[in-house]
Amino acid sequence: MKRVHRAMVTVAAAATALAVVAVPSAAFASPQKTDRSGLRQGLDDITANGAVGALMEVRGDGGEWRATSGVAELGTTREVPTHGRFRVGSITKTFVATVVLQLVDEGWLRLDDSVERWMPGVVPGGDRITVRQLLNHTSGVPDYRQTLPMPPTPEFEADRFRTWTATELIRRAVAQAPTSEPGARYAYSNTGYLLLGEIIRKVTGRSYAREIERRLIKPLRLRGTSLPGTSSGIPGPHPHGYIPVRQGNETQLVDFTRMNPSLMGAGGEMISTTEDLNRFMAELVGGRLLSSRLLDEMKTAGVEGRQYGLGLQWQDTSCGVRVYGNDGDALAYQAWSFSTEDRRRQVTIALTPDFRGDPDDAVEALLDKAICD
C-alpha cells in the first residue's frame, strides 16, 4: 500500500508517551571510506522524532554501509536487527509491475490490452481501461481502502487476522463511482494492482506471488524476501510494528506486527530486507530485468507533472542525480528504496513509525544525503 500515515498523525498524538524508551544509536557494519556520521545522525533524528525503530543500507563505490536506530520493540532496549525483515507495502507494486512488463516483453500481454479482455465483467467500463493505466494509476478504478475502516478505528484492529480475497476487495472498490475517466488523471489505486495480480494469474496460470518468486526472488537470490499470502508472521529477525488505535477518548499504539497481509495482496503484501531491496532496484533500474524499451515505458510518467510511471517513481536529488524506486506503507511499517540509473548507489530505509509526526521530509533528506555525499 502507498504511504498514508499523514492522515493518522494527529489522531495518534496521544501515543507519544508510549514511544519514550531508551534509543540505541545507529550501529555500523561494513564501513566505507567516506564519512557516514551525517547519515547516522539523520537516522537517529528520525527515531527521536517519529519512529520506534529504523534500519538503513547504502550501497556505493566504497561497499555496503548499514545502520540501525531506535528499538526493535517498545518497552525494551533491544536493538533493531541490522538484517531485519519488514513489510515493504507498495514496493510490492514495483515487483508486480516488473512481472507484468516481462510478460509484455515475452509477447503474452500488451500494455494496451483492456481489463475486459483478461477480466471480463469484473470492472464496469473495463473495455476502456488498459493494463498501462492500471500500472500508472490513471485507470479511474477506485481504491478499495476507501471502503474499509482504517486506523485509528478499533474496527480495523479487530479485523487484523481476517482473510480477504482479491475478488472481494475488487468488488467493494468497483461498487463505488470511478475517480475519473480512464487516462484522465492520476489517482492512486491499490485496486489496480489487485487486478494486475489477477491478470498475471490469467496469463500464466500461476499466482502473481509464484511468478514473482520464480522470475525475481529466486534468480536474484533475494533470500530475505517473501510473499506471505495469509500467513500473519514475519519470518526471521524483525522489528515490531505498531498502529494507533482509539480506545475511548485516548489513542494508543498497538503491536500490529502479526496481521493477515491478504488485506494488501498484490498491492503491498511483500516482506523483505534492505539488502534485498537494494539488489532488486539496482538490477531493475540498471536494465537487467527488462528490455530497454519497456524500462523506458516504466520510467515514463502517466500524466504530466507526476514522477510516477509503471510501478516506478523517481526523485531528483540536490546534486542533480535522478534516482528511481518506490516507497511503501504497510501500516505498521514504512519503507523507501531507490537506485541511481548507473547502479553506482542504492539506498533503502525502513522504519516502524510511532505517529508522533510525519517522517517524509526527514527521510527524503536522508536519502538525498546518502546519494549525494
User: How far is 189 from 240, CA to CA, in rounded Å?
Assistant: 27
Residue 265: phi, psi to the nearest 5? 50, -140
Q: Retrieve residue 2's grid coordinates.
A: 502507498
Maximum CA pair distance of the chain? 58
**DSSP-derived secondary structure for 183-226:** TTS----HHHHHHHHHHHHHHHSS-HHHHHIIIIITTTT-TT-B
Assigned C-alpha cell, 306 = 507526476
CA dihedral 156, 160, 161, 163 (to 10 degrees): 60
Say which of 25, 37, 69, 90 is annotated catalytic.
Answer: 90
Determine whether 90 is an active site residue.
Answer: yes
CA–CA distances in Å: residue 241 to residues 64, 245, 315, 333:
26, 13, 27, 6
Active site residues: 90
